[in-house]
Every structure is written in structure tokens, then in C-alpha cells.
Structure 1
């Protein structure tokens, strides 16, 4: 039994695909190094990320996919679904080995599952655009904590770069402990070793907040309450459009 371990990145996964093709390996499992548990009598093999090999696999896949599915594999990968690597690997093998399109072959459980995951990931990305709330710090940086169900941060960064191009901001994923910092020129991935905010709800310590930030949050709450019609309150419908797991990040729901 061949167990392939990689660093957890998408490029690392594509490197695994290249490695399996090169050495004609049919893996029993592919998993992130952080998640691997030693299995008795199992052959563990660690594959290092190779950007050139990953690029070759990606290019080969892109040639076989319709333009509407160019990002299918990456989006499904971001779902972090159990066994997502094996699903993607089986899809890629069949895609590259076939002389016809398999993208709409929903009788194939891998194709169907990947399309479902893609839809869920993009729905979560859309919610991020609605429910991100920034807090202004004393050094002029707007900080927003998030905790999405899927790793959608790479898909929303372009929106915020365009929408808030004249402000420095940091959007940080508390669940996955990384974020993107925008310095008015470019957005770079960052990991904070020291945090001046709560790792539970992302609230910045009051000592680091800009003086008017609390006042702005109070005004936003007052506005939210003023447009709320109590007679038409429907918590069930509200939770459908605004899942409860986002509430801890929203000043208007405190």
C-alpha cells in the first residue's frame, strides 16, 4: 500500500500527481503531512513540492478542460473535504487518459462530487463578500477576522484589492491561521506569530483600536436597529441568509 504525503499546498498535490505518473504509482491514500498517521505495514512516501512539475500537470489539465471548468480542481481542493486528494487524483487520471470530455459525466461519482464541492466553495466565497467587517487600528490598518467553512480566502482577495485599493488592510483566517495583508500595492500571504486580537472572535484589543472605531461600531449598530422591523422579524429566514457562525464577527449582531 502506497501512502503519499505532501505539504498541503495545491502545488504540492500537483507534484504528487506528477510523481505518481512518473513512477507508475497507484496511491492508496494521499494526505497532508500534518494529517498523516503512521499505519502498520504501510509504505509512506513523502513528495516534495516542485513548482515546475506542478505547472506541467496544471497545463496538461487546462488543455483538457472546458473554460467554465478551468478552476474546478482548485476550487474543489479548497473545500478540504476528507479524501479530496484521492477524488482529484482519480479525476485527473481519467481526464488525461480519456479522448473525450468527462466533465459532465455525472455517473462518475468523482465528477459529481467535485462539482458539488465547487458550488459549495463558491457559495462560501460569496458570503465572505457580504459578511466581512473591518476594524480600524491605531496604525491605520483595517483588520477583518474570518472563519469560513472552506479555505476561500484566495478567491476573495482580488475583490478587496479592487474595492479597498486606497486602504491598508489585513484579512485573517482564524481557523487556518493565515491571512493576506495589502500595503496599497500588493497583497501578500502572512502568518502572525504574535496576535493583538482574540483568536476566538477576532476582536482587536481596545488599546490597539483607532479612537473613533468604537463610535463607528455603535453607529452601525444603531443603523441596523433603526431599519429593523420587529413585526417582520423572521429568525429562521435570517439564519438561512446569514448563518449563525458569522454572527460573532458582525458588530450589528453583538
Structure 2
């Protein structure tokens, strides 16, 4: 389905117009858009843009076409790109896609086109290419966010014996951090919910075996009140766990060696609201060791 045609009464200079392909904001959607480009011989159109549907703003200077997600076509493109880019190159494409940057679809396509045009060239090493450079820098940013999420996620024990954590990452990193927690916490039920994107991942230990951890499940539609304030589902021990952790944090802190600037550099303030050790501890002074 296409957007309504532009009003012909407006004398638009055709050299200024651009073609926009809108894809469903999933990786298979973007792959389907790439297939559409080559099937319709649009790859040499310098004005071509590949944009996620949820990021598109209609304009008189662009003509948008919706591309339906086709899993078979997406698979064909995926196989081709695997051969061209290898495992590390495909990792870069996926991590770049998960950044959800407004123009990432176009950047990824330009990288793919470069790889197709020069199949024998190690294109991911060519930082002189602006699209490759943009992708490499984006992947580094996504990698930093992944590392921070793995370090700063704080679980809260619930009445259902599920350890529940809320996060608000800059990028869509849940698909990247799930395996880290799946390997680390195989002996308990846990869930991590992305408040920004409205979905989470859930690990059900009852589905695991001695040799194979359970697969991660996607969860959506959790109660807004619980997401805003999960204390209503805290187990009777959760408050005690948090006090113990806050007390430990207070005790190991050396007042004379505080460096707030360095601390914020390694632990940005935007993560603090979900860190139990950063919450107010009424008796913190009494827990501080005498030195």
C-alpha cells in the first residue's frame, strides 16, 4: 500500500524528491526491503531511503512505498549477506539495526550495497566509507549499552518467585543481553522488561534440563501500575535483601576516596533510579563503619 500521490498542483522539482521504502521495524522487515530494492532495480537511486514505519514523517519531497515483510525473501537476503560479510559482518548489521537510529535502515543498505558491489573487498575495514564508519561507531555505542545493561540490571524478588528487573536502555539491547543472564541464572525464574519498548524476556527454569537451559520467552502487556512501582508484588524478603545490599554498598564506600565525576563517567546517572544501592537508605549513617 502506498501513501496518497502528491498533489500535482504543487510544482515540485523532481530532482529534489526522494524514494522512501517503509519496512516493518523488525530485522526481517528490513531484509525484505533490501530484496525489494534489488528486485525493482532501485539500488543505484542515490536518493533512496530505507526507513522503519514507526520513524517515518510524511513529506512533500518524498514518495513512500510500504514493503510487506516476506520471510522467504528475507531468508534469501540473509543467506547472501552471510556469504558476503561473514559472522562478524552480520553481527555488525544486527547490532546496528538494534540501535534504532532514525536513518539506520539506509546506512545498513549502503553498507550492503558496498559489499555486493565489491564482494572481494573487506568492506568492514574501510572506515573511509562514511556508511561503514557510521555503522562501526553505532555498533560501538550499542556494545557499550549492552555491557552496561549486563552490569547494572537489578532484580527484585516477587511473590511469584520470579526475579524481575526494569530497564530503559538507549538501544534495543534485550536480544543481546538475554544469553548472558540465561547462562548466569539457570537456577531461578527471572524476567527483564524494557519500559521504553514495551516488551521483556522471561526465563522459566522449569523448562530447562541439566544439559540445556530453557529458551527465553518474550513477554508483553504487563500491568502499568506494577511497571511503575513493583513494590506491590515484592516478596516478604525483598525489602530485607535491598537493605542488606544498601548496607554493603555503604560499608565498602570510602568517603575520602570519593570521585563523583569519575563515578558518573563509569556509572551514568540515567541508570541510578533502578539501582537499589542508589536509593535512600534511612539508617545509612549507622551502617557506615567507623574508620
Q: 2:217 aligns with which of 164, 185, 188?
A: 188
**Quick one: distance in 2 between partners of 1:112 and 1:41?**
28
Could you give the per-residue CA deviations for residues 78-136 of structure 1, whole angstroms, max 9, x where no partner exists?
11223111110111011012132212111101111111111111111011111000001
Tell me if the contact between 2:23 and 2:67 (Cα under 8 Å) persists in the aligned partners. yes
Say if 1:41 and 1:228 are closer, same or farther in 2 by CA, change over 3 A.
closer
Provide the secondary structure at the position in 1 that maps to 2:124: coil
Please give the per-residue CA displacement for 1:13-53, whole angstroms capped at 9, x wherever unaligned.
Answer: 01100011101124632222222222226322111111121
Q: Does 1:89 align with 2:118?
A: no
1:212–1:156 distance in 2 versus 1, CA, 3 Å: same
Unaligned runs of 5+ in 1: none
Q: CA deviation at 1:218?
A: 0.6
The structure that has the greater radius of gyration is 2
Correspondent of 1:107 among 117, 128, 138: 128
| Root-mean-square deviation over aligned CA pairs | 1.5
**Offset of residue 177 of structure 1:** 1.2
The 2-side partners of 1:47 and 1:165 are apart by 40
What is the TM-score normalised by the length of structure 2?
A: 0.82
Residues 59-68 or 218-227, more deviating: 59-68
Partner residue, 2:208: none
One of 247, 264, 271 as aligned partner of 1:246: 271
Match of 1:13 among 30, 39, 42: 30
Q: Deviations over 1:184-225 (max 9, x none)?
A: 2321112125234244xxx40x33110010011011000000
Q: Which runs of 5 or more residues in structure 2 are unaligned?
A: 1-17, 206-213, 280-291
User: What SS is found at the alignment partner of 2:169?
Assistant: coil
Per mean C-alpha deviation after superposition, the further-off stretch among 151-160 and 95-104 is 95-104
Distance 1:170 1:124, change over 3 A: same
Give the SS at the match of 1:94.
helix
Aligned pairs for 1:1-254 (under 5 A) are: 1-25=18-42, 26=45, 28-40=48-60, 42-101=62-121, 102-184=123-205, 185-199=214-228, 203-204=229-230, 206-254=231-279
Once the two structures are TM-superposed, the CA of residue 67 in structure 1 deviates from its matched residue by 4.0
Higher mean displacement: 99-108 or 12-21: 99-108
